[in-house]
A and B are shown apart, each in its own frame.
Chain A
Amino acid sequence: MGHHTISILVLNQSGVLVRVAGMFSRRGFNIESLAVGTTHVPEYSRITAVMQGSDAIVAQVVKQLEKLVEVRAVEILPVNTAVVRDMAMIKVKAAQNKKLEVLQLAETFGAKVVDISNETLMVEITSGKTNTDALIDALSSYGILEMIRTGVVGLQRGDCSIYEKEKCEISALFDTAQVEA
């Protein structure tokens, strides 16, 4: 049982996120995080899902995802050769006499302070998951008012591209979605 980061290239159509998320919940797979965004090709979006499970379960997830019509490619981001990031914003209690301390702490983790009020600081971090977890842990002793995370996103290193794995469907519905390799 480990964490797996799955990158999914989908057609940018309404309902596709529901289909992907629905597949996970329907089949009893737990998603830890799910992040969606557009890509340089307007017809596509890309979803990154993090889940826990054995290799066999993840293999099953990948195959079930590949069956969805609007899913064009799926890859598991290899732990060693992928860059994965997740962004968090944390609003932490910090009276005047604590502000410097929190600032320094944020700096240690490579985070930035992006808003200051009388009693609070807002810290932003973009980092690997463990680093972000550690920062949140450290800040929690000051009292976290609210926070939010985007969920993990990632890309493989090197010159590969998920578009190379695209399944070639023979339908005019996808004519607009041809991408140069």
Chain B
Amino acid sequence: MKISGAQGIIECLLEQGVDTVFGYPGGRILPLYDAIYEGKIRHILTVHEQGAIHAADGYARASGKVGVCIATSGPGATNLVTGLANAYLDSVPLVVITGQVSTDLIGADAFQEVDITGITMPITKHNFLVKDVATLPEIMRFAFRIASSGRPGPVLIDVPSDIQLDVFNFTQEEEQEKNKPRFQWELSQLGSSLIDRAAAVLETAKQPVMIVGGGVVSSGAYEQVVALAEKMNAPVVSTLMGLGSFSSEHPLFLGLTGMHGHKRANLAVHGADVVIAIGSRFNDRVTGNKFKYAEGKTLIHIDVDPAELDKNVSTHIPLAGDVKQLVTTLNERIKPFNPSPWWKVIWEWKQEFAVKPDGNDLSATWMLKQVAERTKGKPFIFATDVGQHQMWAAQNLHIETPRSWITSGGLGTMGFGLPAAIGAQIAMPTKRVIAIVGDGGMKMTGCELFTAASQGLPLITIIVDNSSLGMVRQLQQLFYKQRYSESLLPVPMDFVCFAKAFGIEGTLTTTQEEFLAAFSAAIESNCPRVIIVKIPTEQLVTPMLKPNSPLDTFMDI
């Protein structure tokens, strides 16, 4: 059929099963918006392009589908840069479509021209500039395949405005082509012998630990990972990105590992003789001192991306490939065992470092435990912003299922939480989404409340208001002699009034009772709600590893 490039883009999106896109219009993407007007695809208009791409990101993380985002050329495209980097570092599959000046103007510094493929080269898995409308369908199809295959990531397609208008002959992708994987993965002979070695090492381990990372979420290998852990009876810890891939309620689960991880979890990793890490890339926030990390241990590393093996720490048994298949095969070749003396040690740690009860004042940790309690076993998704509240959430919420924990791990992007929560709520209308954000980050992208309001989303936004850029303040307290340079926000911000501007009911809470009342009311309501949790500025995130130290060296705070 003869259609325009813009209509071709819509057809290709439909072909890929896309029903919702996030975006913001402008001059050089007008042909595509004209095609969107036909109403074949739901378009969510956000307040800012950064909001659109974070929403697409949250949508992708919550649903496991590819998120789609659209923006115009120039400033529209540059507003996507943070979101692309965020998705790139957290391996989130996105297809991002930008308008571009018409092909005859490219390179002329035309109005709203930027070289967005050049700018985003290091922060996309791949990008394309479409120069001929005939190649557009193939590029679209390939972009989806790249974004979702192997280690997922964002792909950008820059489409000049004349290409969007050009008429061409569109043919639907054949059904059998559609479901073809990008690469066929098979266990190699070397891989097979490495699995045998891994099995042998694990069976003789006295103090094994399993680390689950974001790769377990994106590979969908949850069941396989649980089966393997249960066979080994090994304690399981999770990275920030891995939360939910292994249920927090499982008896083998010890908690969060890394800079602000639970003591029992970090001590277990530190004391382990064999560590099997699945879908984690040994980021510096996870390893502490990377030279001491692997001392006295055998590391088994399973990841879909071969380049992650031996990148940050060198491993003894590197296994690259399809995580599901690798874990399944390893499980088949391993005999069940039970490292009971190791569990005795761990039980002692559990007792020793049991969570201290919170006082009677309203605190973030108390609030989060209450939220965990009241949402237990129910279909909730939690999205966070970046800062102290994020770490408190990671430590105190109970993430029971995969894709119900959405946080900016690799880039640590303030302003991510609210728009990502919006995307997640749109992806998962039958679940409730709770955004946990700081007072600093809320000011960055808080206007996206407008999007939540205009879409009528039942989103609950909890603002942990410590009147400061708390995480920065914490670092200044600990490492910069309490010189709180630009991290205190003593001038009050009326978030209730702010929410009201969008027609959203906000409740300021300063006591435990007030919070519980506001939270119950929010849960019962079907409308977006904002709850402000006012806490003292001085609270610190503990435990905390000493910088660049082994995992058993905690700050004395």
Residue of A63, A66, A167 ringed by the most chain B CB atoms within 10 A: A63
Other-chain contact of A171, B142, B306, B314 (Cβ < 8 Å): B142
- Asked if A64 is at the interface (CB within 8 A of a chain B CB), the reply is yes
Bound-state Cα–Cα, A173 to B142, Å: 8
Other-chain contact of B183, A64, A68, A167, A173 (Cβ < 8 Å): A167
Bound-state Cα–Cα, A19 to B122, Å: 8
Bound-state Cα–Cα, A167 to B185, Å: 12
How close is A60's CB to chain B, nearest CB, in angstroms? 6
Contact indicator A170/B310 (Cβ below 8 Å):
no
Pull 19 A–B residue pairs with CB atoms less than 8 Å apart, ordered by A.
Answer: A15-B129, A56-B310, A59-B310, A63-B306, A63-B307, A64-B307, A68-B126, A69-B146, A170-B180, A170-B181, A170-B183, A171-B138, A171-B141, A171-B142, A171-B145, A171-B182, A172-B141, A173-B139, A173-B142
How close is A68's CB to chain B, nearest CB, in angstroms? 8
How close is A145's CB to chain B, nearest CB, in angstroms? 35
Give the interface size bracket for A toward B: 20 to 34
Q: Which residues of A contact B230 (CB under 8 A)?
A: none
In this complex, how many residues of chain B approach chain A with their Cβ under 8 Å: the count is 26
Contact flags B113-143 to A (C-beta < 8 A → 1, else 0): 0000110011001100100000100110110
Chain A facing B: main interface SS: helix
- Asked if B374 is at the interface (CB within 8 A of a chain A CB), the reply is no
- Asked if A26 is at the interface (CB within 8 A of a chain B CB), the reply is yes
- Asked if A181 is at the interface (CB within 8 A of a chain B CB), the reply is no
Contact indicator B121/A67 (Cβ below 8 Å):
no
Q: Which residues of A contact B122 (CB under 8 A)?
A: 22, 26
What is the interface of chain B, defined by CB distance below 8 A to chain A?
117-118, 121-122, 125-126, 129, 135, 138-139, 141-142, 145-146, 177, 180-184, 305-307, 310-311, 314
Q: Which residues of B contact A170 (CB under 8 A)?
A: 180-184
Contact flags A40-66 to B (C-beta < 8 A → 1, else 0): 000000000000000010011001101
- Asked if A169 is at the interface (CB within 8 A of a chain B CB), the reply is yes
- Asked if A168 is at the interface (CB within 8 A of a chain B CB), the reply is yes
Other-chain contact of A67, B118, B184, B305 (Cβ < 8 Å): B305
- Asked if A18 is at the interface (CB within 8 A of a chain B CB), the reply is yes
Task: Identify 11 new A-B residue pairs, CB closer than 8 A, beyond the known A63-B306, A168-B183, A173-B135.
Answer: A15-B117, A18-B118, A63-B307, A64-B307, A68-B126, A69-B126, A69-B146, A167-B183, A169-B182, A170-B183, A173-B142
Q: Which residues of A contact B182 (CB under 8 A)?
A: 169-171
Bound-state Cα–Cα, A60 to B281, Å: 14
